[in-house]
Structure 1
Amino acid sequence: MSLFDFFLKSEVDPRDLKDKTLKVNKTRCPQNHRCPSVRACPVGALTQDKYEAPKIDLKKCVKCGKCLRVCPTGAISFQ
């Protein structure tokens, strides 16, 4: 099992996050690579245009937390 797979296995309880919103902090995102969080999202709520910071479709987001666990710079968080 890869480290990437290990992080994807654990889940965040969405009930703990019902009042939180997923945000991308563009100042923490280097915007120079393909975002691993986009690939980690199981429902396709994150998209990326070229190497820009990812965009979040909050209607699709199920608040599983997988994207923020694989973000190497901590640019994605619940607020």
Structure 2
Amino acid sequence: MTRPGKKRARAVSGAPGGSRHDEPGEGGADEAVTFIAEQVGALRKLAERHKLDVLHYLLGMTKLEADEHLRLRSKRKLS
């Protein structure tokens, strides 16, 4: 049990540098955004099929944001 106001120490990840963005088994931010864009696309189609208009709209916005992130990332890598 911890005392009030005292924080527990966090476990350090096995990854060099201990970055939470590069956890073992994950491909990094670009791979995560690509995966999210793919999954959101499928969820958006499902929402459309069931006439869930607000979810369809919000998932569309999420897909646009993910695609924009990937577009800007690839643009930076080219220069």
- Shared fold (TM-score greater than 0.5)? no
TM-score normalised by the chain length of structure 2? 0.25
Q: Which has the higher strand share?
A: 1
Q: Which has the higher helix share?
A: 2
TM-score normalised by the chain length of structure 1? 0.25
Q: Which has the higher contact order (CA 8 A, sep 6+)?
A: 1
The structure that has the greater radius of gyration is 2
